[in-house]
Amino acid sequence: MSLSPDRTVAELRQLQERTGDENGAQRVAWTETWERARQWLREKVVAVGAEEEIDEAGNQWFTLPGASERALLLGGHIDSVPNGGWLDGCLNLAAAVEVLRRVAEEGTPPLTVRLVNGADEEGARFGRSLFGSSAAAGSMQDQDELRERRDADGIALPDALAEHGVDLDRALEARTQLDNAVAYLELHIEQGPVLESLDLPLGVVLGTFGVERHLVTFRGQAAHAGSTPMDQRRDALAGAAKLELELPEIARRVGGGAVCTMGGVVTKPGIVTSVVETAQCLLDQRHLDATWLAEMLSNAEAASRRFAHEESIEVEWEKIWSIEPIPFDDRLLDLADEAVHEVAGSSHRLPSGPLHDAAEVARAGIPTVMLFVQSLRGLSHTKLEDTRKEHLELSVQALDALASKTLASLA
């Protein structure tokens, strides 16, 4: 029997019917609906003959034993954001089930093949993305902070996790799950417009962007909007506005897919009758190359100081969060290119702007690669998220071809 990609599409629609509503997917991690989705996956994979195990961080593992204990991992996440799309995360799991079926039918694989459903990739309820994968990768270092986190209803994170059998203090024990892993493959929707604009169904992901997030605060002087002459103002918003308009120029100069975003500005006092005294800007900068990311950051800092000087105001930078760029494995990139070529005729390499569980696994030193399938209109994290049926089917074939090549190359 051969692969049946149209079965994958039918199964994804079934999952959407069981765990979504008219507003989209509702599989937020650590909820009843999420458990229902995990049960759905369990039924599919156990029927293939794989054995289930839930680790200390809530990751759901399925193992199909091979001739060797060295393991090929296929990873995805079944959790969604509220009112999310029908493909984000679960596409890979459904496609991997199909790959497992094919592998199991052919007898004992040369390597053990494992499917992992990462717990709480999205961080939708508590604002902490990549929970399960960072625990398994051993990079989770924020337990003290996580203990204090609460959801919108005031429920503490440790209590919500305990309801699903996860003890936050033991989450890092999930690390042993990666002991025998020799490769990690993940298929995902692109969640952006690049492949569609190139008219390509599939792409090979070079790695995930490094991210620098800062709170940039400009400080001036509140003053009466009527009585303060234009040349005597110290307007904090003027500095923020100049910085915002400089960002496209900074990204253009650095190039290589650089992106800079001012995601929000809060002004105080924020009334129509006063010059702005403080403007707090949320700045997000991303690049696939660490040197260029650092260059972007220092360019933005220098520009902000220049604008502060011009406007007679002050500026102060505070780091919110950062992560280094995570390049994927060269050998797996080549195999992924071959697989995509075979299935779709041509391949294209692109970076990933969003983070994925794959980034955590790669950070732990496991050779990793991802495939992207085109997203219509580049939309994701909305019920409007969609991909053409024929492209979804090609993506299942590409993941299968990549899994075959990886097994053959590592056996």
Interface residue list for Zn ion (CB under 5 A): 88-89
Q: Please name the residues in contact with 337: beta carbons below 8 A apart, sequence gap of 6 or more.
A: 204, 347, 349
Q: Cβ distance 201 to 189 under 8 Å?
A: no
Which helix H or strand E contains 245, and what residues bound it?
helix 236-254
Kindly tell me which of 88 and 190 has the beta carbon lying closer to Zn ion.
88
Kindly tell me which of 89 and 109 has the beta carbon lying closer to Zn ion.
89
Kindly tell me which of 293 and 355 has the beta carbon lying closer to Zn ion.
355
Burial (CB count within 10 angstroms: exposed 0-12, middle 13-18, buried 19+), residue 345 = exposed
Nearest approach, Cβ of residue 92 and Zn ion (Å): 8
Kindly tell me which of 123 and 257 has the beta carbon lying closer to Zn ion.
123
Nearest approach, Cβ of residue 22 and Zn ion (Å): 22
Nearest approach, Cβ of residue 93 and Zn ion (Å): 11
Residue 72, strand partner residues: 113, 183
Kindly tell me which of 88 and 289 has the beta carbon lying closer to Zn ion.
88
Q: Cβ distance 394 to 366 under 8 Å?
A: no
Nearest approach, Cβ of residue 20 and Zn ion (Å): 15
Q: Which residues of 71-101 are buried (b: 16+ CB within 10 A; e: fewer)?
A: bbbbbbbbbbbebbbbbbbbbbbbbbbbbbb
Nearest approach, Cβ of residue 107 and Zn ion (Å): 32
Nearest approach, Cβ of residue 353 and Zn ion (Å): 12
Kindly tell me which of 24 and 89 has the beta carbon lying closer to Zn ion.
89
- How would you classify the pairing of strands 181-189 and 368-373? parallel
> Residue 109: is the preceding peptide bond cis (ω within 30°)?
no
Which helix H or strand E contains 310, and what residues bound it?
helix 290-311
- Residue 157: which of 140, 172, 175, 169 has the closest Cα? 169
- Coil, strand or helix: which one is 144? helix
In the chain, the amino acid numbered 399 is L
Kindly tell me which of 233 and 356 has the beta carbon lying closer to Zn ion.
356
Place of tokens 């970076």: 351
Nearest approach, Cβ of residue 77 and Zn ion (Å): 6
- Residue 320: which of 267, 361, 276, 261 has the closest Cα? 261
Kindly tell me which of 188 and 233 has the beta carbon lying closer to Zn ion.
188
Nearest approach, Cβ of residue 81 and Zn ion (Å): 9
The neighbour count for residue 206, using CB atoms within 10 Å, is 19
Nearest approach, Cβ of residue 365 and Zn ion (Å): 22
Kindly tell me which of 27 and 234 has the beta carbon lying closer to Zn ion.
27
**For residue 231, what are its two tokens?**
């040349």
* Residue least distant from Zn ion (Cβ): 89
